[in-house]
């Protein structure tokens, strides 16, 4: 707890630097990443991230020092070069884009590792820390580095803020943007440049290997929470910023812990939580909806069965045992028990010594379901020319879905019928 307090107070200048840096880098790459994902260029981001490594190494080999600006320039150049190569391969050969991305990614990364190894064996004392680019090191984000990378991150955020409307249209409908006379080519170049820049500054904290996660994960997770682009960008940026700060905190409490992987792990955790817990779109919400529907179907089926059992004698509120219900309609016993209990609670059926019986309101509800079933059967035979012995199965499921409006419409269409295709009567609305 003390550690958290000390961290939050930001009294240590070093902590301040590292945290501000991580937050800025994470947020800016998340913002740019939203557009990368929406333009379906997520894999390209990954390729660029890997292609940055040879640039870093080459810049170091040529200058012999670790000036952040020069390293940034070097990585920017090879990052861009990889994109040009991908486009060239796709345009001038039979190789498709995904293969081209795979090729470029591995070749550039391989060359980068080659350079890195040769630097490590060169004996240049300055080289220590260069391998940080592989997995990143937010702890190294101090002084000159922070100012350079932070400035780039702010520049990224500003560009997106200024050209938000353009990037939005570009991501949604490029052809239309062109017909409006927007400088689409230039905007695309800019957006790609921003992606490369986001990667270039992001590797400082998470490294080339994990960089694509910083671009893609927040965007993918944020999409689950909203259907608005503006909100998506904000949510992605916030999630990322939070993970950036949390990553910095981890490396503050346990200096041996790698910051980058921690940021990415936290981001992935947030993404998994989004996939499962997000309202409406999340797995859990969809499962719950499915379960609710299934339970409702079971209950309506029980009501219907009780109604049908009494239909022969015209005595609808007679009691029946579980066995009698099961005999009329096969269903899993546990599910039926659960349904019976809920129906009891809802006051639609009553339990007595000889079993369960429909109450007055339960009878009405049962009538409604039976009505819908038979209306639908009639509709199928009359309007869809389905044979009368084929309509039952269909109506079994449709009876649970039909809304009161559709029910009314069906009645009108069928001219307020009284009998279904099997000549059983259709219970009238009370």
Partner 1 sequence: MIQHVTDPVLEVHDLTVSYQRKPVLWDVDLTLPKQALVGVIGPNGAGKSTLIKAVMGLLPLNSGYVELFGKPLNEVRRKVSYVPQRESVDWDFPASALDVAMMGTYGQLGLFKRPGSREKKLAMEALEKVGMQDFANRQISQLSGGQQQRVFLSRALAQDADLYLMDEPFAGVDIATETAIIELLRQMRDAGKTVVVVHHDLQSAQDYFDWIILLNMRLVASGPTAQTLTPALLEKTYGGRLTELSRVSELLHKQNFPIRETKPTRKK
Q: Quick check: 90 binds partner 1 (CB under 8 A)? A: no
Q: Quick check: 137 binds partner 1 (CB under 8 A)? A: no
Q: Quick check: 180 binds partner 1 (CB under 8 A)? A: yes
**Residue 69 Ramachandran class (φ > 0 left, ψ -120 to 50 alpha, else beta):** alpha
What is the rounded CA–CA span in Å between residue 381 and residue 420? Answer: 9
**CB of residue 202 to partner 1, shortest distance in Å:** 23
Q: Quick check: 352 binds partner 1 (CB under 8 A)? A: no
Q: Quick check: 402 binds partner 1 (CB under 8 A)? A: no
Q: Quick check: 229 binds partner 1 (CB under 8 A)? A: yes
Residue number, 229 or 257, with CB nearest to partner 1:
229
Of 7-15, 161-169, 291-299, 370-378: span binding partner 1 (CB under 8 A): 161-169
In this chain, which of 164, 273, 275, 344 binds partner 1, going by CB under 8 A?
A: 164
User: What are phi and psi for residue 359, nearest 5 degrees?
Assistant: -85, 180
Q: Quick check: 226 binds partner 1 (CB under 8 A)? A: yes
Q: Quick check: 172 binds partner 1 (CB under 8 A)? A: yes
Residue number, 70 or 169, with CB nearest to partner 1:
169
Residue with tokens 């345009």: 91
Close Cβ partners of 267 (under 8 Å, ≥ 6 residues apart) = 213, 214, 217, 218, 221, 239, 240, 243
Residue with tokens 């090879």: 78
In this chain, which of 42, 85, 157, 163 binds partner 1, going by CB under 8 A?
A: 163
In this chain, which of 1, 175, 333, 353 binds partner 1, going by CB under 8 A?
A: 175
3-class DSSP state of 351? strand
Q: Quick check: 73 binds partner 1 (CB under 8 A)? A: no
68-92 helix and 143-162 helix, angle to the nearest 10 degrees: 40
Residue number, 49 or 194, with CB nearest to partner 1:
194
What is the rounded CA–CA span in Å between residue 415 and residue 423? Answer: 16
- Can you say whether the dihedral through the CA atoms of 15, 19, 22, 25 is positive or negative? negative
Longest CA–CA separation in the chain, Å? 100
Contacts with partner 1, 31-60, as mask; x by CB under 8 A:
-------x-x--------------------
Residues 181-200 that bind partner 1 (CB under 8 A): 181-183
Residue number, 125 or 227, with CB nearest to partner 1:
227
Residue number, 168 or 329, with CB nearest to partner 1:
168
Q: Quick check: 234 binds partner 1 (CB under 8 A)? A: no
Residues for the chain: how many in total? 430
Helices assigned H by DSSP within 163-282 = 164-172, 174-179, 184-223, 229-253, 259-277
Close Cβ partners of 337 (under 8 Å, ≥ 6 residues apart) = 322
Q: Quick check: 326 binds partner 1 (CB under 8 A)? A: no
Close Cβ partners of 416 (under 8 Å, ≥ 6 residues apart) = none
Residue number, 168 or 400, with CB nearest to partner 1:
168
Q: Quick check: 168 binds partner 1 (CB under 8 A)? A: yes
In this chain, which of 1, 94, 123, 179 binds partner 1, going by CB under 8 A?
A: 179
Buried-exposed string 60-99: b where 16+ CB fall within 10 A, e elsewhere: beeeeebebeebbebbbbbbbbbbebbeebbeeeeeeeee
Residue number, 237 or 263, with CB nearest to partner 1:
237
Size of the site for partner 1 (CB under 8 A): 28
Q: Quick check: 227 binds partner 1 (CB under 8 A)? A: yes
Residues at the contact surface with partner 1, assessed by CB under 8 A: 38, 40, 162-166, 168-169, 171-173, 175-183, 223, 226-229, 231-232
């Amino acid at each position: 707890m003390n550690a958290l307090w000390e961290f939050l107070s930001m009294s240590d200048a070093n902590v301040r630097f590292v945290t501000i840096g991580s937050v800025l880098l994470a947020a800016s790459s998340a913002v740019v990443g939203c557009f990368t994902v929406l333009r379906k260029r997520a894999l390209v981001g990954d390729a660029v991230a890997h292609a940055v490594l040879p640039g870093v190494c080459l810049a170091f080999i040529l200058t012999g020092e670790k000036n952040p600006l020069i390293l940034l320039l070097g990585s920017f150049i090879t990052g861009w070069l990889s994109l040009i190569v991908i486009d060239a391969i796709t345009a001038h050969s039979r190789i498709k884009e995904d293969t081209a991305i795979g090729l470029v990614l591995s070749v550039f990364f391989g060359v980068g590792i080659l350079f890195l190894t040769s630097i490590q064996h060169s004996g240049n004392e300055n080289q220590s820390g260069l391998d940080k680019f592989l997995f990143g090191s937010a702890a190294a984000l101090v002084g000159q580095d922070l100012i350079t990378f932070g400035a780039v991150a702010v520049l990224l955020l500003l560009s997106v803020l200024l050209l938000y409307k353009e990037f939005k249209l570009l991501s949604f409908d490029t052809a239309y943007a062109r017909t409006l006379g927007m400088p689409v080519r230039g905007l695309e170049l800019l957006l790609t440049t921003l992606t490369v820049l986001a990667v270039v500054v992001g590797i400082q904290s998470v490294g080339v290997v994990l960089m694509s996660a910083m671009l893609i994960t927040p965007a993918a997770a944020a999409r689950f929470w909203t259907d608005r682009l503006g909100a998506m960008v904000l949510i992605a940026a916030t999630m990322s910023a939070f993970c950036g700060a949390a990553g910095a905190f981890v490396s503050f409490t346990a200096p041996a812990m790698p910051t980058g992987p921690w940021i990415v792990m936290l981001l992935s955790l947030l993404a998994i939580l989004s996939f499962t817990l997000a309202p409406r779109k999340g797995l859990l919400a969809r499962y719950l909806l499915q379960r609710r529907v299934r339970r409702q179907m079971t209950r309506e089926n029980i009501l219907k069965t009780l109604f049908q059992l009494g239909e022969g004698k015209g005595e609808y509120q007679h009691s029946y045992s579980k066995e009698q219900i099961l005999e009329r309609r096969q269903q899993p016993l546990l599910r039926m028990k659960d349904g019976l209990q809920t129906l009891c609670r809802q006051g639609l059926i009553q339990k007595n010594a000889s079993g369960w019986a429909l109450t007055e309101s339960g009878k009405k509800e049962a009538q409604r379901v039976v009505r819908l079933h038979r209306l639908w059967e009639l509709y199928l035979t009359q309007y869809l020319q389905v044979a009368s012995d084929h309509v039952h199965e269909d109506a079994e499921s449709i009876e649970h879905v039909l809304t009161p409006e559709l029910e009314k419409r069906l009645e009108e269409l069928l001219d307020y019928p009284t009998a279904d295709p099997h000549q059983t009567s259709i219970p009238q609305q009370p």
